[in-house]
């Protein structure tokens, strides 16, 4: 099999098979799911998530999602747990075991040990008749009819279902905690996502450049200021208040008019009422204004006084775009 049509056909079949399995999960949500969410929400401890094989990988992803949305979680590999890592589990922790079959040797050894410590347990499994399902407090049914693998062997659809069930848990808990974008920013300070949530105009380095000229400055001084500050613009400022703006485009248009500009001043060529933002404006909101107005820079004010310039290039450099 190497034809392009065959490859595309198999890709589509895989996606369709998994999407149908995921859609079916909604019909498998029972009161156990609600009780499991409330158990975790009211717990004074953490969520310990365990599994083996591909389920262990899914467990790690669910742990990451919970941690990033306000629910403390720790991954514990089921095989390592029975060789010393059981010490991870504290008295108030809730344990989630993930297993498609619910009957793996590691699970059969691990579950009784956790039960003996009296920790509450939740299963995410595709087999509600399994050893695991019979031993835990609550069962989240992640049953799938078959894997996307043509041999029905490689964990594909089943691990996708486990992941979706974990996402459903995390989002329910997020909603119950009233987890806001500010909370999200606190847990995601790095990368472009974090910057969109916390970076403000005043935090952008070029704002401190503050290109500015007086209204009576001659054109040569304006050109020098725009050139030296390299932001393509200068504010026209009087008594620390913005009265206008001059862009490099304004300079080019003036030169194209073939007029004697030696007698002109900044106030003769400036645009009045320029677009501006407060220094504490979110950087992503400044970007929205630039896109809406079709401009590449905004003047910045702080307490009504001129504070600098934020440029589109700054936002690109910071990863906001």
**Same-domain pairing of 42 and 132:** yes
For residue 200, the model assigns a pLDDT of 87
Kindly state whether residue 25 falls inside one of the protein's structural domains: yes
Final residue in a domain of this structure, among 179, 209, 236: 179
Residues contacting residue 179 through CB under 8 Å, at least 6 positions apart: 69, 70
The predicted pLDDT at position 241 comes to 95
52 with 162, same domain: the answer is: yes
Indicate if 99 and 174 belong to the same structural domain: yes
Answer yes or no: do 167 and 210 share one domain.
Answer: no
Three-state DSSP state, 108: helix
Per-residue pLDDT of the chain (321 residues; tens, 9 = 90+): 556 679 899 999 999 999 999 999 999 999 999 999 999 999 999 999 999 999 999 999 999 999 988 899 999 999 888 787 888 899 999 999 999 999 999 999 999 999 999 999 999 999 999 999 999 999 999 999 999 888 887 889 999 999 999 999 999 999 999 887 666 666 665 555 666 667 888 888 677 789 999 999 999 999 999 999 888 899 999 999 999 999 988 888 888 876 777 788 999 999 998 999 999 998 888 989 999 988 989 999 999 999 999 988 888 887 776
Return all residues near 108 (Cβ < 8 A) that are at least 6 apart.
131
Last-in-domain residue among 145, 179, 213? 179
Q: Which of 114, 146, 179 is the last residue of a domain?
A: 179
Tell me how many domains the chain contains: 2
Give me the residues paired with residue 123 across strands: 97, 139
Q: Are residues 136 and 225 in the same domain?
A: no
45/171 same-domain check:
yes
Mark whether 174 and 210 lie in a shared domain.
Answer: no
Distances from the Cα of 213 to the Cαs of 221, 235, 240, 246, in angstroms?
A: 8, 6, 10, 9
Kindly state whether residues 122 and 175 are assigned to the same domain. Answer: yes
Rounded distance between C-alpha atoms, residue 227 and residue 215, angstroms: 18
For 198, half-sphere exposure in the C-beta direction (CA atoms, 13 angstrom radius) is 14
Residues 62 and 154 in one domain: yes
| 158 and 11 co-located in one domain | yes
pTM: 0.67
Q: Is 83 annotated as a binding residue?
A: no
CATH number for the domain harbouring residue 103: 3.40.50.10490
Angle at CA of residue 197, ends 192 and 200, nearest 5°? 95
- Which residue range forms the structural domain that includes residue 226? 201-317
Tell me, yes or no, whether 69 lies in a domain.
yes
Q: Between helices 4-25 and 157-177, what is the axis angle to 10°?
A: 40
- Is residue 54 within 8 Å of 98, Cβ to Cβ? no
> Residue 310 belongs to a domain with what CATH number?
3.10.580.10
Q: Give the H/E segment covering residue 94.
A: strand 94-99
- Residue 188, in any domain of the structure: no
User: Angle formed by the axes of helices 191-198 and 283-293, to 10°?
Assistant: 90
227 and 140 fall within a common domain:
no
- Residues 157, 12 share a domain: yes
Is residue 208 included in any domain, yes or no? yes
């Amino acid at each position: 099999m190497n034809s392009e049509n065959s490859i595309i056909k198999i890709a589509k079949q895989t996606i369709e098979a998994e999407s149908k399995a995921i859609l079916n999960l909604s019909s498998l949500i029972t009161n156990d799911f609600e009780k499991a969410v409330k158990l975790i929400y009211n717990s004074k401890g953490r969520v310990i998530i365990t599994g083996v094989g591909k389920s262990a990988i899914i467990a790690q992803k669910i742990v990451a999602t919970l941690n990033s949305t306000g629910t403390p979680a720790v991954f514990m590999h089921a095989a390592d747990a029975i060789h010393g890592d059981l010490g991870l589990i504290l008295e108030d922790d809730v344990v989630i075991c993930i297993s498609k079959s619910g009957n793996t040797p590691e699970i059969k050894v691990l579950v009784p040990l956790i039960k003996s410590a009296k920790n509450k347990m939740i299963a995410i499994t595709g087999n509600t008749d399994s050893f695991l399902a019979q031993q835990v407090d609550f069962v989240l049914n992640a049953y799938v009819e078959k894997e996307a693998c043509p041999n029905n062997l490689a964990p594909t659809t089943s691990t996708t279902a486990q992941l979706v069930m974990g996402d459903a848990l995390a989002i329910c808990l997020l909603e119950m905690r009233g987890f806001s974008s500010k909370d999200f920013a606190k847990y995601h300070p790095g990368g472009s996502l974090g910057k969109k949530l916390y970076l403000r105009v005043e935090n952008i380095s070029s704002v401190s450049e503050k290109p500015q000229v007086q209204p009576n400055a001659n054109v040569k001084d304006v050109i020098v200021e725009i050139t030296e500050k390299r932001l393509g613009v200068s504010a026209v400022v009087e008594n620390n208040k913005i009265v206008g703006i001059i862009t490099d485009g304004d300079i080019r248009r003036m030169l194209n008019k073939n007029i004697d500009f030696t007698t002109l001043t900044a106030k003769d060529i400036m645009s009045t009422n320029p677009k501006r933002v407060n220094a504490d404006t979110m950087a992503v909101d400044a970007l929205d204004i630039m896109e809406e107005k079709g401009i590449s820079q905004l003047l910045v004010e702080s307490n009504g006084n001129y504070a600098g310039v934020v440029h589109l290039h700054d936002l690109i450099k910071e990863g906001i775009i």
